[in-house]
Amino acid sequence: GDSVTQMEGPVTLSEEAFLTINCTYTATGYPSLFWYVQYPGEGLQLLLKATKADDKGSNKGFEATYRKETTSFHLEKGSVQVSDSAVYFCALSSGTYKYIFGTGTRLKVLA
């Protein structure tokens, strides 16, 4: 079945460091891919998405490129801020009525 695998956390970085959170997927067909962010005590918010191979989703300085050849959708940001501290979830939707979420990666950014 479809699945999403994320790197284990927590990831701890200093402010202005470069961020990569790895995400790989298994799916039949051509899924849409998403990154969601969850701040403490809140629900998940859609951060960015890509709907076909080679698409790049971007928002708030975060980027992720849909790589079909490596079945990956890694999240990157060039310079993180303390306010980026949150849990990040990779997810896919493969044309069925279900989204598949990864287990989440906690990011801590230190001032």
Binding positions for other proteins, rule: CB under 8 A: 30-32, 34, 36, 41-46, 49, 51, 89, 93-99, 101-104
**Shortest Cβ distance from residue 30 to other proteins (Å)?**
8
**Shortest Cβ distance from residue 54 to other proteins (Å)?**
15
Contact 84, 76 (CB under 8 A): no
Residue 42 or 69 with smaller CB distance to other proteins: 42
Structure tokens at 105: 């990666």
Residue 62 or 89 with smaller CB distance to other proteins: 89
**Shortest Cβ distance from residue 107 to other proteins (Å)?**
15
Instruction: Name the amino acid, one letter, at 8.
Output: E
In the chain, the DSSP E strands lie at 3-6, 11-14, 19-21, 23-26, 32-38, 44-50, 56-59, 62-65, 75-77, 86-93, 99-101, 105-110
Residue 41 or 111 with smaller CB distance to other proteins: 41
